[in-house]
Each structure stands twice: as structure tokens, then as C-alpha cells.
Structure 1
Amino acid sequence: MKPWVLGLTGGIGSGKSAVVDAFGRLGVHWVDADHAARWVVEPGRPALGLIVDRFGEAVLASDGSLDRAALRERVFREPEQRKWLEQLLHPLIRQETAEHLARATSPYAIMVSPLLVESGQHHQVARVLVVDVPEALQLERAIRRDQSSEAQIRAILNAQASREERLRHADDVLVNERDRAWLESEVKRLHEFYLTLRGGQE
């Protein structure tokens, strides 16, 4: 039987990676759409050439790989460019992600995506788990982790779906504001519940 797919999402700094690592330790196969987003623009892949044709060599690092920060600088300022980039990359990321999920041998597999709701990827999954944290904690974690300014993090927060929007699509919510041990036990509880589901629904 093909594994059903759980979509895992949450805003920046919510702790998605800690959650998915815990699922991984329980033997659940997962793929991160953010990783797939890097794979599709690796040197030698067609998408990178198209990006350079449009934005010029300035978006390349000295080793010929994509300079993500330089590209982000350009597209954040111009909604038109961001739209073009998303139309190019989203289908490729979707395909890459699907290929990885197809290799899963666990009863269910997880697709991690910060933009699960915004990109419409939630239509591709059987169930949605939202990792949620209060915004103040989100900001504090993200600033600490990315060494970014509060303004930069707020810009990313504003580009992501609002908490309300994300929670509206959630089948399950994990509020990640306590310690790691508590998080592990919550993941285990969800995992045991997920193992009882057929096709991701009760």
C-alpha cells in the first residue's frame, strides 16, 4: 500500500525541523520542500540557467552556484519578479518532492513545507500538521538562529500565511513552546495516532 502523505508546516522559527527530526527517529520517511528548492537550482539543472538569463550573473556565487541572498534581495522588492520565480520553481519543487515521497517505505510519509498553505501544496497531502508558536517566541528564535534583524524576519513573516490562515487548514496542531522532551513525547503521541489512520483520515 502506498504511504499516505502528511503535510507539516509552520511559520519561520516554529521548530519544524526539530519536529520532523523526531518523526524521522521514529522511522518516518520525510522530505523538506526547502531542500527540494535547493536541489532544483543546483548548477547543471535547467532552472539555474533560466534564473541567470533573467537576473544576470549577479545572482551567482563565485563557485557558480546560486547566491540565494542576492536573488532574494531582487525578488523581495519586486512582486512581479517573485511571481515569475515562483511559477518557474513551484512545479519543479513539487515534482522533486513527489519523487522523494514515492520512495517512502513507512506507513505514512511527511512533506515539510513552510509554504504548504500559500503554495497550494496542502491539496497534495492527506492531512496537515501545523507546528504553532506564539509570534513573540517565533521572532526571538528566528532572529537567534538566522542572525537576522527583526525587520528581515518580520518581512518573511508577512510573506508567509498568517497564523490564522495556517491554523484554518490544520487537521492537527502541535504548540511548540515547551522543552525538547515534551516535544518528543507529543510527536510520539501523534505518530501512534497516525499509524491507526487509513489514508490519513479517521
Structure 2
Amino acid sequence: MRRKLTMISIGIVVLMTVFYACKKDKKNVVPKFVAEKCLNEGSSETTIPYNIYLYKITDNGNGTYTWEWRIKNLNPGNGSDGTAPNLNGWDISLGTCIQATDIVSGATSTDGTTWNSFAPTIAVDKGQSCFTDKVIKFDLGTTGSNISYYRLTVNKNVSHNTVTGVYKTSEICGSLETCGFGCE
């Protein structure tokens, strides 16, 4: 009986070790279908011609989390006959759960491989008049139907939620709901 209890105890310890090891090693990557619950996909039912979406959230394993958004012009052109001009850039509001001190770094990319770092600031974007609250400004725009890539790394593990995004071209700007920082 004592040997049987010892074997059961060892089995429980092994199972708990495996469970916690797997849980610890798991990265916090949000699959696209989960993130789409709080973004505007730029469907044919909307007047927003840009698909701005949260692609993934990655747990970097050091107490920081990298959020990556992607943008695609759904109907590139000169802005006439239902086409949309290239974006000059876009902005995102932070919501109430992330503060300036939580932001570690930012980066943009035209190919998703080579990233250009920038120091994100939270301020009113005076380059547009569609949204007058404080935002993080991404200066990279779009080119044709190519995807543009945007990252923010934060030192706080928060969920995702609907926030305001602002798209801007040389002719127009507008606001939309997109997926951004939520509360834990």
C-alpha cells in the first residue's frame, strides 16, 4: 500500500511539473481569428478603405510584450471611383490601461522582416484634424496594396480591446475602431 501511494505521489508531481512547464513556456500569441473580434476588417460594408488589424501579441519572455499591427489598402488608387490613396501614416489611441511609461519601443517595416525602430511618444497628432486626443503616431504609410507593418513593445501584460485608430493621407483623414490595448 505504501509503495502504491508513493507511485501515485510521484505521478502527481510529474504531471504538475509538466503542466507548469508547458504553461510557463507558452507564448502569448493571439491568433488572427481572436484578434479580429475587435478590429475593423475593411469589409465591403464599411466606408473605410484600409484593413488595419492586430496581427499578433508576443510574450518576449522577459516581461515585455510585442504587439504587431498590419495595414493594407484594399483598393489602391488616386482616391476617385472608389479607390483609396496611399496612407501617409496612422495613429492609435492607448485606451486607459497603458501609460507612456509602459511603452518600451516601436518599429515599422515595409516587408515584415527589416524593422526601423523609433521612440514612440504620446501626443496629439497635429498633422491631422480627425481625432484630437493623444495618440501614438506611426509615420510609415502604405504603398499600393502592399502590407505595412507596425510594432509596439510594452512592459505590461494586458488584453486587447477596441480603441480608436486614425488613418491619414495627403487628402483625407478619418477615425475607426481597431484592436489595441485593453485591461488585464
TM norm. shorter chain > 0.5: no
TM-score of the superposition, structure 2-length normalised?
0.27
Name the structure with the higher strand share.
2
- Higher CA-based Rg: 2
TM-score of the superposition, structure 1-length normalised?
0.26
Name the structure with the higher helix share.
1
